[in-house]
Amino acid sequence: MDRKNRRRGNLGLAVAALLVALPFLPLFLWSFAGEWRFPALLPTGWSLRGFQALAEPGSRVIEATINSLVVGGAATAASVAVGLPAGMALGRYEFRLKGLVVFFVLLPILVPPLASTMGVHLTFIRLGLADTAFGVFLVHLVPTVPYTTVILASVFAERGVELEEAARTLGATPWQAFLRVTLPGVAPGVAVAALFAFLVSWSQYILTVLIGGGNVITLPMLLFSAARGSDPVLTSVLALIFVLPAILALVAALRFLKAGDAKKKQEGLLGLGKVS
pLDDT in tens, the chain (276 residues): 566 666 776 677 677 767 777 878 888 888 888 777 877 778 888 888 888 888 887 888 889 999 999 999 999 999 999 999 999 888 888 888 888 888 888 888 888 777 777 778 888 888 888 889 999 999 999 999 999 999 999 988 888 777 787 887 888 787 888 888 888 888 888 988 999 999 999 999 988 998 988 889 999 998 888 888 778 888 888 988 888 888 888 778 777 776 655 555 444 444 434 434
* pLDDT score at 21: 74
Can you list the alpha helix ranges (DSSP code H) found in the chain? 2-21, 24-31, 49-54, 61-92, 98-110, 113-127, 133-157, 162-169, 174-177, 183-185, 187-202, 206-212, 219-227, 232-275
Residue 5 lies in a domain: yes
* pLDDT score at 263: 54
Q: What is the torsion angle, in degrees rounded to the nearest 10, for the CA atoms of residue 20, residue 22, residue 24 and residue 29?
A: 160
Q: How far apart are CA 66 and CA 276, in angstroms?
A: 55
Residue 151 lies in a domain: yes
* pLDDT score at 271: 41
15 and 108, same domain (yes or no): no
Report the number of distinct structural domains present in the chain: 2
66 and 35, same domain (yes or no): no
7 and 143, same domain (yes or no): no
* pLDDT score at 264: 54
* pLDDT score at 267: 45
* pLDDT score at 275: 39
Residue 54 lies in a domain: no
* pLDDT score at 46: 85
28 and 64, same domain (yes or no): no
Residue 67 lies in a domain: yes
10 and 92, same domain (yes or no): no
40 and 68, same domain (yes or no): no
Q: Is the peptide bond before 85 cis (omega within 30 degrees of 0)?
A: no
129 contact partners, CB below 8 Å, separation of at least 6: 135, 138, 211
175 and 223, same domain (yes or no): yes
159 and 222, same domain (yes or no): yes
* pLDDT score at 184: 84
43 and 64, same domain (yes or no): no
14 and 120, same domain (yes or no): no
* pLDDT score at 259: 60
* pLDDT score at 9: 65
What domain range is 19 assigned to?
1-47
Phi-psi region of 199 (alpha: psi -120 to 50; beta: other; left: phi over 0): alpha
Which among 9, 27, 47 is the end of a domain? 47
Q: Identify the CATH number of the domain in which residue 99 sits.
A: 1.10.3720.10
71 contact partners, CB below 8 Å, separation of at least 6: 133, 136, 137, 140, 201, 208, 216, 218
